[in-house]
Amino acid sequence: MTEYTQLQQIRLQKIEELRTQGINPYPTRAERTHTSLQAIAALEAAPEGEPVPATLAGRIRATRPMGKLSFAHIEDGAGKIQLFFRINELGQEKVDFFNKMFDLGDFIQAEGLMMRTRTGEPTLQVTDFRMLAKAVSPLPADKDVEQPDGTIKRYAALEDPELRARQRYADLAVNPQVRETFRKRAAIIKALRNFLDSNDFLEVETPILQPLYGGAAARPFTTHHNELEQDMYLRISFELYLKRLLVGNLERVYEIGRDFRNEGVSYKHNPEFTQLEFYAAYFDYLKVMDLTEAMIGHVCDAVFGSRKFTFEKEPGKVYELDFTSWRRLEMRQGILETSGIDIAEHPTAESLFQAIVTRHPQAKPDPTVTRGKLIDFLLGEFLEPTLIQPTFLYDYPRDISPLAKPKPGDPLTVERFEGYAAGFELCNAFTELNDPLDQEQRFLDMQEDYDDDEEEKNPLDEDYLRAMRYGMPPNGGFGMGIDRLTMLLTNNRSIREVLLFPASRNEA
RNA sequence: GGGCGCGUAGCUCAACGGCAGAGCAGUGGCCUUUUAAGCCAUUGGUUCUGGGUUCGAAUCCCAGCGCGCUCACCA
């Protein structure tokens, strides 16, 4: 049984009072002729003295009752506008009715003529109004006050990150900049689609519920299909299904959707996240690099009209990011410059481990892992934090890249690159391995490398190998976290700020 | 998982071993161009939960729950 606060009980009484007066506090239909901004524009466009009738609908955000008149601000999807209730037009009874029965947060429909107040503010002088939806709970915010210089000053607001995420509806209702972030997010995704569509990519949908998982090194979520009597997994990547489509002569495909990884939660990790992957026949990783640069540039232009962004990674740590052109840095070179170790001189895990602990006694690499994982350690420890400006880091160790094609003449290295900005990984791409015999061997190697970790070990996907044996064109593939891109472009330092409903524990 | 920090009214926060408070929101009153409207009055608390120390705990200690930051993990 819901327990209501005193504030809520007062509003419940008002709902009852409305019903006893024969007024439905939640009517089925609503009317409006203008949004707030349309009404203001209509007033500005109309000749002096010509009446501008309008019917508006929105949520009450502020009221200023003054006895024989009353002002209110309502907010709709477009913006805010002031309402003016006066006994001259409405009579004392209706003004009292408004003051008594309407609260902050209620949705109201108001009809009247547009006017300007003494201070010049475009305002609807109300001749009739009605309740559209009564709010039981007050919105958790006080007031936004627009200062003379046009900035918004907030006197008190919903700020607790937990509450804001758990009650995103309330966060969105009271924090306009949060709405803006999610509009930007939608625009980013739309721009990505536009770009890929206009480059002859076909948007496809592949299974989220899979009998086997693969395409990334991550622990999956497991579920069960009752009728099929088999366990299923939520996908950890799209890769293996999208590449099956290349076998089927779909030359350029992409998918935007959700991946699920049963791993830690952090400022840049959420258990489900939105991924873009594309694959293009006859591309190699250099062509993918060019396309990526063009694609991100297109998103910047289309959504923001600029390729320069300010990103505050930590309080006071502000970066100016420029996505006009990406630096291209060979991983070996980057690691050499930042750690002083040349990985090419250490072809075995043992040799590389010794080099690391000798040169960096304070570093704590895991002595049991492969050479590739040690290189990844060097990358994360020394190189990654320095990759502030957009950078393509290329040529990765083979053993941590089981789906990438070897670099000709270099058996330890594959044609793979990752895009970095502001010190974190944004995307991952490679020249895709299309040799079914090599692919099978890689799967088998993985079984050994991940011997200690049953779940993170990619299961051997026989059907994928069967597909590849029919012939897969040479191709380049790409994956990018949309959430991280949105973080960078909207200056949000936590992934939770760009997810409408980030993962949370059950409420106690 | 480790470390640090936080949890007090609807919201934002004080009080830090001695009567649980403020602003806004709410309620009642005055007020015909306000815009943080103003003025007067006033309601509202399991101080996250459970133990403990103490004459006395929001405050100190222990445990738990939740969250934040950070480290680890994370192709």
What is the structure's pLDDT at A149? Answer: 46
Nucleotide nearest A219, from its CA to each C1': B74
CA–CA gap between residue A329 and residue A288 (Å, rounded): 15
Q: How far is the CA of A86 from the C1' of B32 (A)?
A: 7
What is the structure's pLDDT at A1? Answer: 56
How far apart, in Å, are the Cα atoms of A246 and each of A43, A210, A462?
57, 19, 17
Bases on strand B under 7 Å from any protein CB: 1, 9-13, 23-28, 30-38, 43-44, 65-75
> Closest by alpha carbon to A375, among A426, A421, A339, A328?
A339
- A416 pLDDT higher than 90: yes
Please state the domain extents for chain A.
Answer: 6-133, 142-174, 178-326+390-498
- A57 pLDDT higher than 80: yes
Contacts of A66 (CB under 8 A, 6+ apart): none
Number of Cβ atoms within 10 Å of the Cβ of A19: 11
Nucleotide nearest A116, from its CA to each C1': B33
b/e string for A385-424 if b means 16 or more Cβ within 10 A? eebbbbbbbbbbbbbbbbbbbbbeeeebbbbbbbbbbbeb
Q: Do A426 and A484 meet the contact criterion of CB atoms below 8 Å apart?
A: yes
The answer to whether A38 CB sits below 7 Å from nucleic acid chain B is no
For residue range A440-474, what is the model confidence (pLDDT) as tens digits?
998 888 777 665 555 566 778 999 999 999 999 99
Contacts of A297 (CB under 8 A, 6+ apart): A307, A323, A324
For residue range A243-287, what is the model confidence (pLDDT) as tens digits?
999 999 999 999 999 999 888 788 888 889 999 999 999 999 999
For residue range A4-26, what is the model confidence (pLDDT) as tens digits?
888 888 999 999 999 999 999 99
Confidence of residue A318 (pLDDT cuts 50, 70, 90): confident
Confidence of residue A151 (pLDDT cuts 50, 70, 90): very low
For residue range A166-185, what is the model confidence (pLDDT) as tens digits?
888 888 888 888 899 999 99
The answer to whether A12 CB sits below 7 Å from nucleic acid chain B is no
A6-133 maps to which CATH number? 2.40.50.140
Task: Report residue A167 CA to chain centroid gap.
Answer: 17
- A508 pLDDT higher than 60: no
- A152 pLDDT higher than 50: no
- A70 pLDDT higher than 80: yes
The answer to whether A211 CB sits below 7 Å from nucleic acid chain B is no
The answer to whether A65 CB sits below 7 Å from nucleic acid chain B is yes
CA–CA gap between residue A63 and residue A74 (Å, rounded): 9
For A167-194, give the secondary structure using H, E and C.
CHHHHHHHCHHHHHHHHHHHHHHHHHHH
Please give the protein residue whose CA is closest to the C1' of the nucleotide B38.
A66
Nucleotide nearest A138, from its CA to each C1': B10
Tokens of A340: 């002083």
What is the structure's pLDDT at A150? Answer: 44
- A99 pLDDT higher than 70: yes
Percent above pLDDT 70 for chain A: 93
pTM over 0.95: no
Beta bridge partners of residue A281, listed in sequence order: A475
How far apart, in Å, are the Cα atoms of A195 and each of A192, A201, A292, A421, A480?
5, 9, 10, 21, 15
Which amino acid type is present at position A161?
A: P
What is the structure's pLDDT at A450? Answer: 61
Task: Report residue A37 CA to chain centroid gap.
Answer: 28
> Closest by alpha carbon to A119, among A91, A68, A82?
A82
Confidence of residue A75 (pLDDT cuts 50, 70, 90): very high
Confidence of residue A372 (pLDDT cuts 50, 70, 90): confident
For residue range A124-150, what is the model confidence (pLDDT) as tens digits?
999 999 999 999 988 876 555 544 444
Domain A178-326+390-498, CATH among 3.30.930.10, 3.40.50.1820, 2.40.30.10, 3.30.70.100? 3.30.930.10
Q: How far is the CA of A256 from the C1' of B67 (A)?
A: 31
Nucleotide nearest A115, from its CA to each C1': B33
Say what the ipTM of the complex is: 0.86
The answer to whether A425 CB sits below 7 Å from nucleic acid chain B is yes
**E strands present in A315-409:** 317-322, 327-330, 391-397, 406-407
The answer to whether A437 CB sits below 7 Å from nucleic acid chain B is no
Q: Residues 367-406, chain A: which have Cβ under 7 A from strand B?
A: 376, 380, 400-403
The answer to whether A446 CB sits below 7 Å from nucleic acid chain B is yes
